[in-house]
Structure 1
Amino acid sequence: MRVLLVEDDESIAEPLVDGLSRYGFTTVRVGTGAQALAAPLHDFVLLDLGLPDIDGIDVCRRLRQVSDVPIIMLTARGDESDRVLGLEIGADDYLPKPFSTRELVARMRAVGRRTRTVTAQVSAPANPLGPLTIDDRTRQASLSGVPLALTPKEYHLLALLAADPGAVVERRRILEQVWEPNFFGRGKTLDFHVATLRRKLGGPEWIENRRGIGFRLVVPGGGGS
């Protein structure tokens, strides 16, 4: 696995690169947000929030606009709002400094498992659901042939619901598979993403809310029960 480490502190970066190599990771290290945004796509990104040129939150947001690569934020910030914001704009996990390489690798593997689980929800390369098509090869959803401009989290949410259309997916399962186990973000995070996804699908009838339980995908005119 090729890892992009975005860390400007040499005293942290050098031993971390060495430590990751012992676990079989090939790590490319950059020291600024601009270098991170210009770097080729990797299999994983470890992103320090306190960068000298661009705030790590903004780097995360901009990476998410072009890629769904797994991102773990590395932060010395004690403010919970920074961590929550990072997770809500697309980071997969965060790790407060100082940390051990062993814990970081465990979190990377956990994020990798969650990412593979969500990807596996759509078994066929192209999954037609009435006018809705989900192509997991390109992570692109289309409605009546028109591509939908979905964020990675919106795509993962839609793919999870579309894996078994009509079935109710519990809120906790959605949070664990699309966000992270023990997700601590704002309670309305999932509802916000559902509302945005409904709007992009063209109407609220696509996603039904079973109050206190979860959500299900209902293809309009598809006869879902």
Structure 2
Amino acid sequence: MAFKAVIFDLDGTLVNSIEDLADAMNTSLSNYDFPTHGYDAYQGFIGNGIKSLVTKALPETNRDDQQIKRSFAGMMDIYSSNCTNKTKPYDGIIEMLDALKSREIKLCVLSNKEDSFAKEVASALLPNYFESVDGLTIEAHKKPNPIKAIEMSKNLGLKPEDILYVGDTDIDMQTANNANMFAVGVSWGFRSKDVLIANGAKLVIDHPLDLIAIL
């Protein structure tokens, strides 16, 4: 099939944001004298939105609604000023996006990251590549709900089956299949190949430029 568009996840797929997210959350945890976590731990916290990350990072004994709200607000405030300090595109991403654009493939981003942060990161690090960048605005629309992916396909004037959906987590593979898009996992992100395949990845690629061969 000749795919006409690609929808990408952002964190763990296009950019490595683990350190900025972890630093912001660890600062928020330290403000309450809670234990902090290493970068490796945050790989398991990422993928289902910042509120989920905050909840998982808090001590199990301090996950009441009020503490989650306070920690979420603190983390968001810190992250808003530091979301591109250490975050960078993965090796090969720019070359891949250039190759896709040269083939007139339409490109979009769909993330569970808060919408303002998703737009800021994409604009700062990957400008002028995407038809649209959508982050999370309504909790009920969070991936793996396919509503935003399907909306993107309509805005592009394409059928879902004409679109590759590329991501690094189980949530992304579920979203792709729920939207009837071709699910491509990436091995350089925050989940293993086994997890991606178990959650419906049709293919798993090891380098961004491998995506060109699929097209």
TM over 0.5: no
Structure number with higher strand proportion: 1
Task: Report the structure number with the largest CA radius of gyration.
Answer: 1
- Does 1 or 2 have the higher relative contact order (CA < 8 Å, sep 6+)? 2
Structure number with higher helix proportion: 2
Q: What's the TM-score, normalizing by structure 1?
A: 0.29
Q: What's the TM-score, normalizing by structure 2?
A: 0.30
